[in-house]
Amino acid sequence: MRGIFKKLFLTYVLVIVVSSAIIAIFTDYVLKEYYKDEIAHELEVSAVLVEDMMENFAFAKNPSKLQNFVKRLGEKIKTRITIVNSDGTVFADSESDPETMENHKDRPEMEKALSGIIGKSVRHSDTLNIDMMYVAIPLKSNGNLSGAIRLSIFLSDINRKIKQIHKIIIVSVLIGILAALLLSFIVGKSFVNPILLMKTAAEKISKGDFNQKLDFKANDELARLGHSLNAMSEELQKNITETEREKNELSIVLSDMVEGVILVDKNRRIIMLNQSLSNMLYLRSDEAVGRHSWEILGNEEINNAIESTLAKAEPVRKDITILLPEEKYIQVQTSVIYDENNELYGVVGVFHDITQIRKLENMRTEFVANVSHELKTPLTAISGFIETLKEGAINDKKEASKFLDIMQANTERLNNLINDMLVISKSESKEMKLELKKVNIEKILESISSMYKERIDKKSQKLIFEIANNFTEITADEEKLIQIFSNLIDNAIKFTGQGGVITVKCYDVQDKIKIEVSDTGIGIPKEHLPRIFERFYRVDKARSREMGGTGLGLAIVKHLIQLHGGTVSVESQPGRGSSFTVVLPKEINS
Ligand SMILES: Nc1ncnc2c1ncn2[C@@H]1O[C@H](COP(=O)(O)OP(=O)(O)OP(=O)(O)O)[C@@H](O)[C@H]1O
Ligand SMILES: [Mg+2]
């Protein structure tokens, strides 16, 4: 037995026992009185009968006959009969010899009977030494009071009867109590069971298990409470699902955001930090929540931004630079957030990685500087020679023709430079369209080799082709392919010394072809490799310029290859040579 059921049941028991006891005591009292009255009445009736009998029989006048009659009758009706005359002298008695008995005038019941009314008394009998009940009636002859007739009964007989009644009462009360207990047990259970079910359901609900359906058949308050619990659980589940959905949506948005986001409370504790920010600042986001922002962020400028936002309750925007492990430019924008009571809650910080934008900006300024410089050099030369010619050199035919040659070479260089830049700007602005057709790679490479034959021979270099013969044609823009491989071969010749070897390998890999242009030239130091495809980038600026290079060749190569959906990569060892690998799809869809 537990809790509520115990209380309920014990209360029932108490109520049942107390009320049964009251009923038992009351019943006992009432029955006892009723029984005594009944017996007194019986005695009275019997006394009247005895009087009647005495009137009708002559023996009444004969003392010994009367004594016999009284004795016999007393035995028969199991009642003591005493007859006294008007002065209280005992005349006859069914239990004792009247001769030996004292005057009964003073007995309370006799006193009343002798005064003409019925007397009743319960007391101890001196004669029989026992408790008795007495009923006496006046005895009349010819209308005059001549004595009294008293009938009495042992109280022990009455008590025996009353004891029997007691037994009956006790047994019925016990049966009643048992039945009531059984009933209260059943009723108690029927009360407590639904409550226990609801308790278990509520406990499960509090642990997040909302599949609790209480189904009570009855239509009482408990059943209604059960239904309310069901409704509450459903509502709660709906609300929680809704909140979770919102939370998930928010966390998906936050985690998918490119921008880094951090939420810090006014005590500088991190409430939320998204993956982008962890990646951007190289943090461990799983350890961040709950810790102090200055502990986790470890960047003074960011912490200062947070502090200043909290101190002034104003947004802060600033660009910061991170140097390690790699240089990064980050734009930080903080805002104050307030809680529902409009009190300062904390700071939200949004971080944009602007490294790429910065790099592009730098490239643009660098580009402008480079272009101006590249244009300026030949222009300075041209205007210088024009000046010299004007000052008189024009008259020296031989000298003049030499100057004009130089001017022509510089003009050509300007022309080439402008052409290269046009190619680049066209390809970058996506204006360039490929004119696709079936082209024979082998033929293209051969025609390029004839273009460079003179330069190769001059440097006593060797150009070797290793072309796998299992394919002949690919879909591409022929002119652009010529541009790509001319540039690569031109570089190879240019950056390879006397007697070097240039090898062009061509083979297919599934639906692609690979063309490797390798040389045994000066090679490219490792640190320059990632940048050589940038516009105007040259490893050794002075040397390349001397050789007429502007550093646009590889940038053009890369763009043209990308337009074909291909890739280009480089491997190189300084002093031993370089190898450029171009991968192109055999078929491309324009
Ligand atoms: N085969 C190579 N061997 C060694 N260095 C090379 C080779 N190819 C390119 N480079 C390096 O890469 C730089 C960029 O090459 P790129 O072709 O873009 O410019 P360039 O040849 O100098 O000028 P341009 O091609 O415009 O005449 C070169 O200046 C050179 O330093
Ligand atoms: Mg080049």
Q: What is the pLDDT of residues 259-271, one digit of tens each?
A: 999 999 999 999 9
Sequence ranges of the chain with CATH classification 3.30.450.20 = 3-161, 257-352
Cα–Cα distance, 338 to 314 (Å, whole number): 12
Atom of ligand 1 nearest to the CA of 544: 22
Distance 496 CA to ligand 1 centre (A): 11
pLDDT at 57: 65
pLDDT at 523: 94
Q: Are strands 512-519 and 328-338 parallel, antiparallel or unpaired?
A: unpaired
pLDDT in tens, 60-94: 677 788 888 888 888 988 888 999 988 888 888 98
pLDDT at 2: 64
pLDDT at 102: 87
Q: What is the 3-state secondary structure (H, E, C) of 426-460?
A: HHHCCCCCCCEEEEEHHHHHHHHHHHHHHHHHHCC
**pLDDT, average across residues 229-243:** 86
Quick check: bond before 325 cis, omega within 30? yes
Q: How many helices (H) and strands (E) does the chain have?
A: 15, 17
Distance 491 CA to ligand 2 centre (A): 5
Superfamily of domain 436-585: Histidine kinase-like ATPase, C-terminal domain (3.30.565.10)
pLDDT at 499: 94
Cα–Cα distance, 467 to 445 (Å, whole number): 10
Substitution site in 491, 546, 570 for ligand 1 pocket (most atoms within 8 Å of beta carbon): 491
pLDDT at 157: 75
CA atoms within 13 A on the CB side of 553: 20
pLDDT at 590: 56
Contact 127, 95 (CB under 8 A): yes
Sequence ranges of the chain with CATH classification 1.10.287.130 = 358-428
Cα–Cα distance, 121 to 113 (Å, whole number): 11
Torsions phi, psi for 373 (to 5 deg): -65, -45
Q: Which of the two residues, 447 and 157, has the higher pLDDT score? A: 447
pLDDT at 250: 85
Distance 542 CA to ligand 2 centre (A): 14
Average pLDDT over the chain, rounded to an integer: 87
Residues in the chain: 590
pLDDT in tens, 505-553: 999 888 899 999 999 999 999 999 999 998 888 888 777 767 777 888 9
Q: Which of the two residues, 555 and 141, has the higher pLDDT score? A: 555
Distance 356 CA to ligand 1 centre (A): 25
Burial (CB < 10 A; 0-12, 13-18, 19+), residue 458, is exposed
pLDDT in tens, 525-537: 999 999 999 888 8
Distance 169 CA to ligand 2 centre (A): 126
Neighbours of ion ligand 2 (CB under 5 A): 491, 553
Superfamily of domain 257-352: PAS domain (3.30.450.20)
Q: Which of 50-54, 278-282, 320-324, 511-515 has the highest mean pLDDT?
A: 511-515
Cα–Cα distance, 406 to 419 (Å, whole number): 20
The domain made up of 358-428 is a member of CATH 1.10.287.130 = yes
Ligand 1 shell residues, CB under 6 Å: 487, 491-492, 495, 519, 521-524, 532, 537-540, 544, 549-555, 578
Query: 324-328: which pairs have CB atoms within 8 A and are 24 or more residues apart?
Result: 325/282, 327/355, 328/280, 328/353, 328/355
106 pLDDT above the threshold of 80? yes
17 pLDDT above the threshold of 90? no
Q: Which range among 234-238, 480-484, 489-493 shows the weakest confidence by mean pLDDT?
A: 234-238
pLDDT at 144: 82
Sequence ranges of the chain with CATH classification 3.30.565.10 = 436-585
Substitution site in 532, 570, 572, 578 for ligand 1 pocket (most atoms within 8 Å of beta carbon): 532
Distance 453 CA to ligand 1 centre (A): 19
pLDDT at 438: 92
Contact 417, 550 (CB under 8 A): yes
Q: Where are the beta strands (DSSP E) in 4-143?
A: 80-85, 90-93, 119-125, 130-141
Distance 456 CA to ligand 2 centre (A): 15
pLDDT in tens, 273-301: 888 888 888 887 678 888 888 888 888 89
Contact 297, 278 (CB under 8 A): no
Atom of ligand 1 nearest to the CA of 517: 1
Contact 452, 493 (CB under 8 A): yes
Q: Whose CA is nearest to atom 17 of ligand 1?
A: 553
Q: Whose CA is nearest to atom 7 of ligand 1?
A: 491
pLDDT in tens, 395-445: 988 989 999 999 999 998 899 889 888 888 887 777 778 899 999 988 898
pLDDT at 60: 62
Atom of ligand 1 nearest to the CA of 580: 1
Torsions phi, psi for 571 (to 5 deg): -130, 145
The domain made up of 3-161 is a member of CATH 3.30.450.20 = yes
Q: Which of the two residues, 58 and 230, has the higher pLDDT score? A: 230
349 pLDDT above the threshold of 60? yes
pLDDT at 420: 85
